[in-house]
Structure 1
Amino acid sequence: MNVTVIGSASAVAPEERALRDLYLEHGPALYSYVLRMLGGDTHRTEDILQETLLRCWDKQNVTDGEGMAVRPWMFRVARNLVIDAHRTRMARPLEVSGNSWLGDMCAEVDDIERMLSSMVVQDALRSLTPAHREALEATIFADRTTQQAAEALGIPQGTVKSRVYYALRSLKSALEERGVR
């Protein structure tokens, strides 16, 4: 009677042996790659590595013998898993623990408001005529006097003043149309 001891070399199935060999050959490099992509999160890295190896094990026909290198394929699978995990995490609602989430939420809302306001202002600026936009850029955005802006633009100072005045008036009107007061 043949007795096979669990854990001995003869007890390991060929697929398991192939998976173990794959891990021994590619595991450390794959682990480092995923760890860098996840910013040092070891727990998530281990999960991604495990899922990558399982997918490789499911695709037993992906071998070096087919002319396709296993290593690049494994790295691509790992990369896709990291991307999928990130998308899933972003789609889930915020997990709440204690009251600290309120401060974080307010900061995020402020950032979003600032970004949206910036986008609205940029859109309003695009609605100005090129001459008005140029006058604002040469004075307000470049932090120059009207005299310096006039010299830079090669037009009279009075023209710069007039363009800035009408540009600001148009900008105010454009922002009001977009709901910014």
Structure 2
Amino acid sequence: MGDVDRRPESAEALVRSLYAEHGRSLLAYATRLTGDRAAAEDVVQETLVRAWKHADDLTSGKGSVRGWLLTVARNIVTDRARARAVRPAEVAEIADRPPVEGDHSEAVVNSMVVLDALDQVSPEHREVLVELYYRGRSVTEAAKELGVPPGTVKSRSYYALRALRTVMGPGAEVAR
């Protein structure tokens, strides 16, 4: 996109095109700044909301769109860090209570995505991945369980992970 369409049909169309072109790099930048994927997604969303509010500025042709987006994202991260710094410290948890478990919804969604992807690879690849990653077996143990040589397990796991990456799409994090 580099140059924004000077006559977008609407501010919403502009934001969609900004996200399509700059979303991944914006998320990577925000993740690097925050160190937290969920916080980075919030920063990207807020950045795109601000882009929507300032659509006229972005379509004026002055300056780099990507530079504007990255600057806004950096400013949002800075503002949030400053806000946290002035907030009073929270009361420590009571020692005799177990710590509160974090939200596990992301892990559930990730499991569902991986299970769906596993259904789309060959049975031989699925078997190897289940033995190595789900059951936690070594290559030798998996080979014995599957009745194939260890070299076959290694080869199948390599190609199985490549197939999973293809099925899950770009940007998917699959074990290496």
TM-score, structure 2 length as denominator?
0.46
Who wins on radius of gyration, i.e. which is larger? 1
Give the number of the structure with larger relative contact order, counting CA–CA contacts within 8 Å between residues 6 or more apart.
Answer: 2
TM-score, structure 1 length as denominator?
0.45
Structure (1/2) with the larger helix percentage: 1
